[in-house]
Chains A and B, each alone.
Chain A
């Protein structure tokens, strides 16, 4: 009973956890454990590993970014894992398809951004003054300034409050005070926050000011006019600090703007509930005390605070920042209105997902009914117990909240029709052949489901509908649908117009449930459309950037490339001025995320439009007096440019350095840091040139490393680390000594980042030419080993890597003996990761520099240590120990001889180990050291090992068996067929059954071994055995791995050589009849190889005879073999060309396209092989058969035909082909002319010069002379 209680307790716990996860779904903080919020920062920005953390710090906890990537299998492997059908793909371990699922919190911030309304296109207007209603650059800048000011005020308030709080006695509870201390919270939360700070600022006021006061006294109406940005206003609660807000009396007209009602789709001011006296409130509030207005319901405010955005009915806080806040706001009333959602009631994508999830989870975790339990358990042996008294059935609040008809409200039985939740997955059939619509798509495409008569709609609406249909097809359609829709969108882009297109596409991209594939397709649409729209795109540049910029920091490489491409095209279409105007306001945005992505986008613009064009702007930004953010972003742009375009910065290096150099002395610490990092990036990009450009920063950098500490120092050191390698030897040595003093001090720093940077800088300095070995040995090494070669360093993967690299670099300078001598003892350390690190270092050092420096004593220690480490290892996934062992043994060469018996003893012992891994590793080790064993003349020992391995061929683990075969192969290769023990005649029959094994590793090693034997020692085995192997080999042609198929085909060649081609050929020709294409293709290749190894005359008769079989596959197979055959035999083909000509004639006249195609490619190879060998007659004959095929349209056929003609050009000369061409170049039918000109063009490109002699004589016309008299000259 007690155990059941515990069980239940545990289940309840788990349930609770799951519910919490579910509940958290509503607020779109996706569960990272379940989804794997992998953060692969380091894969993304390899060259500047320092900054990400500290960069993000000003507005977010660095903890998130610091999370290490989890170890995961490569994508391809994951994809290949076979799945057991439908039911397992809802949950399980499938890689999340949706982008949001793999995003970390930082990246998710993209959803906080709002697609701002269209902006004014200054170019399109000419001299006119912009209309008041449009947003000009000035408007936006003003807005941004306001926002920043507000942010700063809030920050100041928070700071002050904190100070006050601290000054008070801390007996009061702290939670109230600590929350607003966070200077920048997520925007969503600001509601409370600002409100709280407001109250705090007006200390005089009574504490009774209600929660809803502030929102009531909302935005100065003047502000509404200036900014029709719905989303931004949505979260921006006004700060008290703004000046003229209260003086203004709002006019009713303006009121209409600000006061949208929650009525879906309608922005009618008339619908305002009568009680809402908006015009009165601000005055009241402004005058003196905001009277608490309790009577208002929350509903009155919320929509208003959402501005004139389309109010989502039932907008949950989560929905407030979904794309539902449409970009078009008041401008375009026919937005994806929530009205369309009426279809299903108001429900957001999140809720849909939640429902889907919940259903799924319930489905799986549904309590079993008594009947089910009865069916599951045997009748006797089980007793039904009463549930304990403490048992409470689980009631999930999350489920209740949603008030859906849950399929299983009562846990013990299920009535089928209660399963109404099902309906959510069966969407209404989309009309008119439209693709399937996912629930979350209704928000955007719902309108398509209303079966309205298209005729009745206005042209504008029809256009909208058309765009929606096409987009839906692109997003969810089948590939052909997608293709045509994409083409239509592209072709009609200008007709649709930029506005309607982008207003549809961009919100889709902000959809939180977007999947990779969908995003890729939509981005593709944008790319195509951009190309067509060209300058029309200008007003939408910022909107597009908002959705595309997040791609630049995506973890997926291809997404980043795609993002860059779009931004580059965008900047080419819109022009530099527009790009700058669009992005300038974001440069000093308060949100670090926005600044970061903007900097990256700017670097793309720079690479697209050229750095010089951007330089003046960058200069101005980097010197901005107004805000440090602007300077920071400007300098960051320079950094990103360096990273993006690499050595192409060189021409502009000096100007770039000059632009940012003053940042080293900036008053703001972040600016100083980013400047140093940018310099590092520039130096890295410029290496090994451009030191003269850095002259001006050397002094501040070196002064800086003496005066700074912590992160800034790290950045400065990094810059120095990258600049030193650019210097001349003398300077490098001088500066290294200067900086080394600081570096050695920082060796002891406990900061991980600092450690990494110090290691990196040491590596850079040491590898520089001017730094001498003695100096390193005396000054650096002792401290270096004392501080870094400690166990702790082996635990963090990045530290580990960096330390190994640095040590290897040092070893390159000071030699093997010094380094190995210092760490060899540690091979016997008790910590395994540490031993592994030591081993890897030794491996690399020894592989680089050889082992000649290692003296006898060290050699002994080394082998001893390696043997110890090898034997003591418990897990070695990366094969570090194995590689290290192999490398050291190979480097020592003959010096290993005395230790070989001991090593072999170890191997033999481990071959017999219980653990498969150990056996496999032992076998692998044999293949690594086989060559050295031969060098040491230990053939007897190897023979012995051969026998041992032979005995283990019964191994059942395929991985191990593969390694054993590999080891045997290595031994056979080294000692030769004759000396091999066991003798080949015993070994091979043992291998034949193993060929049946389907495991790739086994197949590969086995076929290699068999091929080796067939090649070198075929005579040791009877022909009958080889035939048997032939049959087995046919199966191997099906292998997935190309290497296996290639080895198999080669083996056929060896076997045919050994036992004569007839039997092998018969087997192969029979195999042409099989259905599987890949198998046939490989067979044809094998036939061609047999022909090559045994000369064609042994094969051709049988092959040509086979062509008489009236079967398509066989005939095509024969033709294909001929094609390969002539490709392989080259010049030898001249003896056989006349023999096969009749066959090819027949094939080239066949009705079947593939016949002609394959025959044409055979003709090509033949012609190329016999060029210049006097077979022109036969070739011209064949050309006459090839030529009529030039009008084929099937791509493969026409390619083969054109190539055959090219081959003929080489063999027969250009003149002959030109004569064939002339008949059609001016043919009355265009279709004919097109084809002939195509042939002419490739002829012309191939042999332009040769044609000169062969051009036809054209007759002169009235005023034009076409004759070429020079050719008539005669001496």
Chain B
């Protein structure tokens, strides 16, 4: 945060952003961002019933099963995080 931000509306904005899990910051790496994208995507699929129905038809599964699968996939959507090499 810049010094100028500290006392204006931006500071509140930062605070607001901090409350959202999916927001990012300058040190976010590729993996973390991808995880956010994946989770957002699954949340969106589940949230929009027509899309869920569409996927169900495409995969020949019941809608409930699709929903369940998506929710499960939200756990580790991209697999285990890569090893940090240096720090």
Contacts and interface: CB of A to CB of B under 8 A. Distances in A.
Contact of B41 (A1226, A1265, A1268): A1268
Interface string B7-45: 011100100110010111110101101100110110011
Given A1194-B4, A1234-B26, A1242-B17, A1263 B80 contact: yes
Interface residues of A, number: 35
B16 A1245 contact: yes
A1275 B2 contact: no
A1274 B54 CA distance: 9
A1225 B82 CA distance: 20
Given A1199-B10, A1274-B58, A1193 B4 contact: yes
A1242 B59 CA distance: 35
B54 A1237 contact: no
A420 B14 CA distance: 59
A1026 to B, nearest CB: 41
A1230 interface: yes
Nearest to B48: A1249
B82 A1264 contact: yes
A1273 B54 CA distance: 9
Given A1194-B4, A1266-B34, A1273 B82 contact: no
B58 A1275 contact: yes
Nearest to B3: A1193
A1264 B34 CA distance: 10
A1255 B82 contact: no
Contacts of A1248: 20, 22, 40
A1258 B57 CA distance: 26
B40 A1199 contact: no
Nearest to B73: A1270
B72 to A, nearest CB: 14
Contacts of B80: 1263-1264
A1194 B10 CA distance: 12
B49 to A, nearest CB: 14
A1238 B13 CA distance: 9
Contacts of A1234: 25-26
Interface residues of B, number: 37
Contact of A1244 (B13, B20, B78): B20
Interface in A1227-1266: 1230, 1233-1234, 1237-1238, 1240-1242, 1244-1245, 1248-1249, 1251-1252, 1255, 1258, 1261-1266
Nearest to A1271: B41
B64 interface: no
A1237 B20 contact: no
B40 A1252 contact: yes
A1263 B10 contact: no
B20 A1245 contact: yes
Please indicate which of the listed interface residues A1193, A1233, A1249, A1270 has the most CB atoms of chain B within 10 Å of its own CB. A1270
Contacts of A1199: 8-10
A1249 B26 contact: no
A652 to B, nearest CB: 30
B30 to A, nearest CB: 7
B50 interface: no
A1204 to B, nearest CB: 15
Given A1237-B25, A1237-B28, A1245-B20, A1195 B58 contact: no
Given A1193-B2, A1263-B79, A1270-B55, A1255 B24 contact: no
B42 to A, nearest CB: 8
B47 to A, nearest CB: 7
Contacts of B82: 1261-1264
A1275 B54 CA distance: 8
Contacts of A1230: 26
Given A1195-B10, A1242-B13, A1258 B58 contact: no
A1268 B25 CA distance: 23
A1241 B23 contact: yes
Contacts of A1193: 2, 4
A1251 B59 CA distance: 24
A243 B47 CA distance: 81
Nearest to A1252: B44
B37 to A, nearest CB: 5
Interface string A1190-1222: 000111001100000000000000000000000
Contacts of B22: 1244, 1248
A1237 B79 CA distance: 24
Nearest to A1258: B34
Which among A1242, A1264, A1268, A1274 has the highest number of chain B CB atoms within 10 Å? A1264
A1240 B4 contact: no
A1241 B30 contact: no
Interface string B61-87: 000000000000000001111100000
A1238 B5 CA distance: 12
Contact of B26 (A1233, A1261, A1266, A1270): A1233
Nearest to B24: A1237
| Residue among A1238, A1249, A1258, A1262 with most chain B CB within 10 A | A1238
Contacts of A1261: 30-31, 82
B45 to A, nearest CB: 6
B24 A1240 contact: yes
A1263 B76 CA distance: 12
Contacts of A1273: 54-55, 58-59
A1255 B41 contact: yes
A764 B16 CA distance: 45
A1264 B40 contact: no
A911 to B, nearest CB: 52
A230 B82 CA distance: 65
Nearest to B5: A1195
Nearest to A1263: B79
B57 to A, nearest CB: 6
B31 to A, nearest CB: 6
A1241 B9 CA distance: 15
Nearest to A1194: B4
A1225 B28 CA distance: 9
A827 to B, nearest CB: 56
A1193 B6 CA distance: 12
A1244 B30 CA distance: 17
B58 A1265 contact: no
A1252 B38 CA distance: 9
A1255 B37 contact: yes
A1240 B31 CA distance: 17
A1249 B41 contact: no
A574 to B, nearest CB: 27
A1268 B38 contact: yes
Given A1237-B28, A1274-B58, A1245 B17 contact: yes
Contacts of A1226: 30
A1195 B59 contact: no
Nearest to B81: A1264
A1264 B26 contact: no
Contacts of A1194: 4
A268 B12 CA distance: 58
A940 B35 CA distance: 80
A1262 B24 CA distance: 23
A1254 to B, nearest CB: 10
Nearest to A1260: B78
A1265 B8 CA distance: 40
8 contacts: A1195-B4, A1199-B10, A1237-B26, A1249-B44, A1261-B31, A1264-B80, A1265-B79, A1268-B41
The 7 closest A-B pairs by CB, nearest first: A1233-B26, A1273-B58, A1241-B23, A1252-B44, A1241-B17, A1266-B34, A1234-B26
Given A1242-B13, A1244-B22, 10 more contacts: A1234-B26, A1241-B20, A1245-B23, A1249-B44, A1249-B47, A1252-B41, A1263-B79, A1264-B31, A1270-B45, A1271-B41
